[in-house]
Amino acid sequence: MNEEFSVDDPTQLLDSASDFADEPGLPNDAAAKDFLDRFPLPLIINCLQTKANVPGLENTLTACLERIFRTKYGASLIPHYMAFVEVGLKANSHVVRRLACRTVTFLLENSTEEASYAIQLIIDYDIYSLLLDCLINGDETVATPSMDAVMKLAVLPKGIDIIFPADNNKATHLGNLAARSSSLGRVRVLSLIVKLFSVSRSVASVIYSSNLLNLLEAGVSNTNDSIERLSILELLYELSEVQHSTEFLSRTTLLQLLCSIIGNSAMDLHLRLRAMMISGRLLSKENAHIFVDDSSVKTVISAIDGRLGFLESQDTAECESALEALGDIGSSIQGATLLLLSVPPAARYVIDAAFDRQGRGKQLTALHALANIAGEARPENTRILNSIAEESLRRLIYEVASRSMKLTPSGLILSILQQAAEVRLAGYRMITGLVARPWFLMEICSKQEIINIVTDATTDTTKIGMETRYNCCKAINKAFTSSKLIGDPAFAAIAEKLEEAVRNGPYLARKQLQATPEVKTAERF
């Protein structure tokens, strides 16, 4: 570094850098340029390299530089200081390494028009391998921004070629990197793979073709490190939320591995819970039946059914997770049908729990699960299942009602709507899904109290509560106007009440009241 950029007393620079770093709001080009006009970038870098022992200097200058590089003006200077970035990625200081990782991100974010130039800089300075080293060996404050930088690289043209080299023997190949890493490093590599998987279907295809999903399978199968195993299941849970996850994971043995975990009573509880939730998420997507055959879905359902049978009437976290997983599976037509047609039907546990007030958490979960099976979250024209599945659904609900003190489904439904707000909201969802069935519509209309609750705009005070009640009211009204009941004089009052409630809308549709002061002024005389 030239002597003209050296500084004996960094006090003035530190004070100005501290003020700049602490300025509220996002930095702008003008402010960044003004600061660098007073303190050129080489001066700041030189001071950072030679005066690191000055208390507070490193944190202050790195915060200042990050704020500068965040601007377009600052980012335009990064290509001229790639040697500094390279050195920063190798630094012993976590603070400096974090800044270097963030600087790479700013470079890639601002190089959309000259992406090929940025990619060439990444190659020339071997930046990608240094980012991977930060991912594996850095602390959490370094690993996270290094992963962010790799994600930015993944979305640039030809960036994916750097991340997934044609030569599988390269040291930067993620499979090789995972193989030579510690348990923590391996989990971080797998976390990167999961995040890359979510970028796009094409990237997910490359990951699958590179056999990187095998690393997840191996991690789930590893019985020697329960902490790593649980960490990988957490990653799979994140992966299961990706739209195209079922397509690729169905080609692996992961579903079978998850089933083996679910059905193993000796397995750690947290592993079973996550395995259930992942299975449910993967099979909840409407296109799941394209990639997963019925036999595989039945195997998952059977494993969860077995656990619910073992747990019987317990109100536990595992029971709730199992019910939620069945509800997720029931979100799709294929899943709902299989839940109702399995022998005995696994949906029986959901329906029993939905109308059982003995376990609050279990009932709430089961009500939402039943709403999913009934099709509340599906398009209206796909709510009704085939005739055999529909008959199973009707029979199961009437059987539960006949064993209860209420005797009829309408009595059970009214009981749910009279409970606390969160249970009532789940009840609205359940009714919205089920009311497309004529027999269920008749149950709803047979009790005036049910109609009174779902049409009363003052029943719920939260936004989600008002909207869910209104959607329920609309669903009942639509089913009613499409049914034979519409011309029956006995239901004329119900028809009028439903139409008025739908017309009023979801939000506090009550008569306008005049504002009245709560505190009166004192009467003088």
**492-513 residue pLDDT tens:** 888 899 998 898 888 865 544 4
Any idea where the domains of the chain sit in the sequence?
A: 252-404
Residue 419, both tokens: 């409970």
How far apart, in Å, are the Cα atoms of 76 and each of 113, 116, 131, 346, 350? 12, 15, 21, 60, 58
Rounded to whole angstroms, how far apart are CA atoms 434 and 83?
65
| Cβ neighbour number for residue 352 with a 10 Å cutoff | 19
Q: What integer is the mean pLDDT of 129-152?
A: 95
Q: Which residue type occupies 209?
A: S
pLDDT of res. 314: 72
pLDDT of residue 210 exceeding 60, the answer is yes
Rounded to whole angstroms, how far apart are CA atoms 135 and 186?
10
Rounded to whole angstroms, how far apart are CA atoms 205 and 195?
13
pLDDT of residue 422 exceeding 80, the answer is yes
pLDDT of residue 319 exceeding 60, the answer is yes
Residue 321 near residue 368 (C-beta atoms within 8 A): no
pLDDT of res. 257: 94
Residues of the chain above pLDDT 70, percent: 94
Task: Determine which helix (DSSP H) or strand (DSSP E) holds 498, and give its type and residue range.
Answer: helix 492-504
Provide CB contacts within 8 A for 275, sequence distance 6+: 233, 258, 259, 261, 262
Residue 148, both tokens: 């962010």
pLDDT of res. 20: 87
| Cβ neighbour number for residue 204 with a 10 Å cutoff | 23
Q: Which residue type occupies 522?
A: A
pLDDT of residue 281 exceeding 50, the answer is yes
pLDDT of residue 393 exceeding 90, the answer is yes
Higher pLDDT, 123 or 113: 123
Residue 291, both tokens: 């990639």
Fold topology of 252-404: Leucine-rich Repeat Variant (1.25.10)
Higher pLDDT, 434 or 5: 434
Angle at 496 between CA 473 and CA 451, to 5 degrees: 40
Provide CB contacts within 8 A for 223, sequence distance 6+: 229
Give the pLDDT band (50/70/90) at residue 389: very high
CA 482 to chain centre: 37
Residues of the chain above pLDDT 90, percent: 65
pLDDT of res. 522: 60
Give the pLDDT band (50/70/90) at residue 313: low
pLDDT of residue 2 exceeding 50, the answer is no
pLDDT of residue 61 exceeding 50, the answer is yes
Give the N- to C-terminal CA distance of the chain in Å, as an integer: 87
Residue 325, both tokens: 């997983």
- Collapse the DSSP code of 384 into the 3-class scheme (helix H, G, I; strand E, B; otherwise coil) and give the result: coil
pLDDT of res. 459: 86
How far apart, in Å, are the Cα atoms of 122 and each of 69, 128, 151, 328, 384? 17, 6, 14, 43, 55
Residue 418, both tokens: 């009279």
Rounded to whole angstroms, how far apart are CA atoms 180 and 174?
10
Residue 96, both tokens: 């400096």
Rounded to whole angstroms, how far apart are CA atoms 417 and 120?
63
Which candidate, 96, 77, 1, places its Cα nearest to that of 32? 77
Residue 388 near residue 341 (C-beta atoms within 8 A): yes
Rounded to whole angstroms, how far apart are CA atoms 406 and 418?
14
The average confidence (pLDDT) of the chain is 89
What's phi and psi for 271, nearest 5 deg?
A: -65, -40
Angle at 363 between CA 277 and CA 386, to 5 degrees: 70
Indicate the burial class of 502 (C-beta count within 10 angstroms; 0-12, 13-18, 19 or more): middle
Q: What integer is the mean pLDDT of 321-337?
A: 95
Query: Lowest-confidence range among 332-346, 389-403, 481-495?
Result: 481-495
Task: Determine which helix (DSSP H) or strand (DSSP E) holds 488, and give its type and residue range.
Answer: none
> Cis omega (within 30 of 0) on the bond before 409?
no
pLDDT tens for residues 120-138? 999 999 999 999 999 999 9
Chain length of the chain: 525
Q: Which residue type occupies 246?
A: T
pLDDT of res. 458: 86
Rounded to whole angstroms, how far apart are CA atoms 180 and 331?
41
Give the pLDDT band (50/70/90) at residue 521: low
pLDDT of residue 316 exceeding 90, the answer is no
Give the DSSP letter of residue 170.
S
Which candidate, 284, 226, 283, places its Cα nearest to that of 254? 283
Dihedral over Cα of 315, 318, 322, 327: its sign: positive
pLDDT of res. 236: 94
pLDDT of res. 361: 86
pLDDT of res. 1: 44
Residue 358, both tokens: 């003995």
Rounded to whole angstroms, how far apart are CA atoms 364 and 260?
27
